[in-house]
Structure 1
Amino acid sequence: MKKVKVLPTRTVPQGIAAMLSFHADGDFDEVVAAMERRITEVETGDITTAVRSVEIDGVAVKEGQIIGLHNGKMVSAGESPDAVMIDLLGKMNAPDRELLTLYYGNGLTSGTVEKTANVVKEHYDHLEIEIHQGGQQHYHYIFSLE
């Protein structure tokens, strides 16, 4: 009989990080512990467009503005995805992290994504940046910071 454990994650990047640390031939308890550890090491950011005007936790946003979420909580608003990305990364302690993995949504071109990566490098040149087409409909970017 095979052992199975469901690992609770709150974000897609947490789930991906856990899956990437899976080793099928490892000891079950050690593999589970490693996957659980990876989940706690991932900070998740989302950049999307506000569908209504609102103020949440002191962040005022107008319909159509770009918003940034850190682990599901709105913490940033601005006029462009790049500006919100830089603000959001600062609030996520990017100087203390090493890897930024960007999953970009439908509607963004590779040129736009490369421009965003270059803007990030201008502010956080120590970060290694990985870029993947995520295919999400409503988010410009979903990203992990590790």
Structure 2
Amino acid sequence: MAVSSGDGLSELFGQLGVQGVVTGGQTLNPSTAELLAAVEAVNSTQVVVLPNNKNIIPVAKQLDALTGKTVLVVPTETMAEALAALVVYDPEIDAEANAAEMSEAADSVSTGEVTQAVRATNSNAGPIAEGDWIGLVRGAHHLPNGIVAVSGTLDGATVALLDLLVAPGREIVTVIEGLDATAGHTDVIQAWLDEHRPGVQVEVHRGGQPLYPYLFGVE
């Protein structure tokens, strides 16, 4: 069972073995009751939960005590971590073994996202004006979480984020397009990676998430 922030992500999760999806995201956290209902609806006595948001993890960890099913939580904080975890999901092994392997896979991914500032503020990457585009790191072993790039354009913030996120030795970049993504912006991402990170495999998926035109997972 997974929390999803877009219809494209929900469809992708289903293709990778997820049997129950609850809508949620950075600005919309599902309730305990919603998560529990999704767990109960899954046709299995063992359920692995992907919260996909730091704020949802504590709520997800309460579920095991609220149901007769065995509920294990893979502490994913981003949608990109969930995709990496689901790639190693094996329906032939038990939930405990799956949760361990999926957690390891999720932990190996560096993730980032691009969104637009709704107000002026300061950051470690410099001053931010309302309407600026900002690149954030949500999980990377070589970078602190938070704002790492600021630009007046979506393309500028995106490539500045990728320049930091795609460290040497990384092999795969997963691009998850949001509602505000365009073919032109995605082409800029592909061209930048081709020029500055040659040899990196790029996978593009339609996520359909609001507010964040691009989510990234780097392996």
Root mean square deviation, CA, Å = 1.9
With a CA cutoff of 8 Å and minimum separation of 6, indicate the structure with the bigger relative contact order. Answer: 1
Considering only CA atoms, is the larger Rg found in Structure 1 or Structure 2? 2
Q: Distance in 2 between matches of 1:9 and 1:28?
A: 16
Deviation at 1:69, TM superposition (A): 0.1
Does the residue aligned with 1:95 lie in a helix, a strand or coil?
coil
Which residue type is aligned with residue 78 of structure 1?
A: S
Q: Give the % identical residues.
A: 31
1:137–1:93 Cα change, 3 Å: closer
Deviation at 1:104, TM superposition (A): 1.0
Does the residue aligned with 1:119 lie in a helix, a strand or coil?
helix
Q: Distance in 2 between matches of 1:112 and 1:58?
A: 22
Deviation at 1:107, TM superposition (A): 2.9
Q: Distance in 1 between matches of 2:126 and 2:184?
A: 30
Matches within 5 A, 1:1-146: 2=46, 3-57=70-124, 59-71=126-138, 73-146=146-219
Deviation at 1:127, TM superposition (A): 1.2
Deviation at 1:105, TM superposition (A): 1.3
| Alignment TM-score, normalising by the size of structure 1 | 0.88
Q: Is the 8 A contact 1:59 1:74 kept in 2?
A: no
Bigger mean CA deviation after superposition, 73-82 or 25-34: 25-34
Q: Which runs of 5 or more residues in structure 1 are unaligned?
A: none
Q: Distance in 1 between matches of 2:196 and 2:132?
A: 22
